[in-house]
Amino acid sequence: MLRHKSIVRVMALALAASFLLAGGVAWARAGQQQSSGQTQQPAPKATPQRPDEAIDDDDVERVETDLTNVLFTAIDKGKRFVTTIKQEDIRVLEDGQPQQIFTFQRETDRPLSLAILIDTSASQERTLPEEKSAAQRFVDTVIRPQKDEVAVLTFTGESTLEQGLTGNIARVRRAIDRVDFIPPSGYIGGGILVGTPPISGDNQSRAGSTAIWDAVWVTSREVLSTTSDKTRRAIILLTDGVDTSSRLKMSEAVDAALKADAIIYAIGIGDSFSFDGVDEGSVRKISERTGGRAYFPRNEDDLRSAFAQIQDELRSQYLIAYSPSNKAKDGTFRKVQIEVANPELRKQNLRLTYRQGYFARSAVEAKPKR
């Protein structure tokens, strides 16, 4: 059976971590040209560890805090952002129990840490030029060079860091400009692969594969989780949602994003002529479970509109901070609910978007570094 996607593996946390400690992320192209004019060599690729193979917590220094932060957005029936909500208009529940809110404020000026994650498999061959153009326009409009930072990553069956987090818009634009579809061996166009060898091992290239969940996991763990807690973290994911080769499950990718406090805005896009179209269910799940939204553009104007809506949402959010009534440091998942308490506002049928929960810190994580 002929498959129609691009290939490869995902990157190992252990190897990536060693390069980070050495002073730089070494996944692939660093997004910066060598001053000597020499050709940059691809860096080693790594495979993400399973969640039960995490880094030793004794090597991680953490700051103690009792507050849980949750961002939310309110949208009315006309799909307009509501910016007049007050603290007394809403209530917060954790695992069904009401919580006392300590901080409630509009978030319009917080620094942004964004990762633009682009599927470059064969299903994106026709739409990639439009995606790049819309992404560059978004960066030009949204990013404040002295305050915000952006990373650019691509993926097929492996993830490549095209540009690490930077506020330098010119570097980000160059990284996006370099993004391209590279046909796998045997690709003859139209989503058709011929002469593909059988898959015989986990370490072998897998023609026609796409690892979305692995890419989200790596982006959350290796890029966004390293940023300041004072920034708003988000992944802008462009893909058709058809994952064919991830070693991790979607739920593990969602967990990684939640632990990194990263919202995922997913743009479901792909070549519906040569391929099976967009898996809207997967695209919605990966975004909504992290407090983001999914978009399904049908043309270039829709794509531009999707980026414009993401831009508006990033500047139209509310921040809630509360001290959980459950003080147990057990590492368990805590379900969060935000409800409209104001009877008049309830009549407006507002839609609130926010992350569906978070992982409590474990006793080991809470232990101060010696």
- Kind and range of the H or E run holding 295: strand 294-295
- Specify the pLDDT at position 183: 73
Distance separating alpha carbons of residues 295 and 311, to the nearest angstrom: 13
CA distances from 42 to 31, 162, 201, 350 (A): 11, 11, 22, 48
The structure's pTM equals 0.76
pLDDT (0 to 100) of residue 221: 97
What pLDDT is attached to residue 121?
Answer: 87
Query: Can you list the domains of the chain with their CATH numbers?
Result: 13-33+43-54+110-315 (3.40.50.410), 65-108+318-366 (2.60.40)
Distance (Å, whole) CA 348 – CA 232: 28
Specify the pLDDT at position 63.
43
For 189-196, the CB contacts below 8 A with 24+ separation are 190/4, 190/274, 191/4, 191/5, 191/122, 191/123, 191/271, 191/274, 191/275, 192/2, 192/4, 193/2, 193/3, 193/4, 194/2, 196/2, 196/3
Mean pLDDT, contiguous 10-residue spans, the chain (370 residues): 36 40 41 41 44 44 68 92 95 97 92 96 88 96 95 94 97 96 65 47 55 97 94 96 95 96 95 71 95 94 94 93 94 96 93 94 61
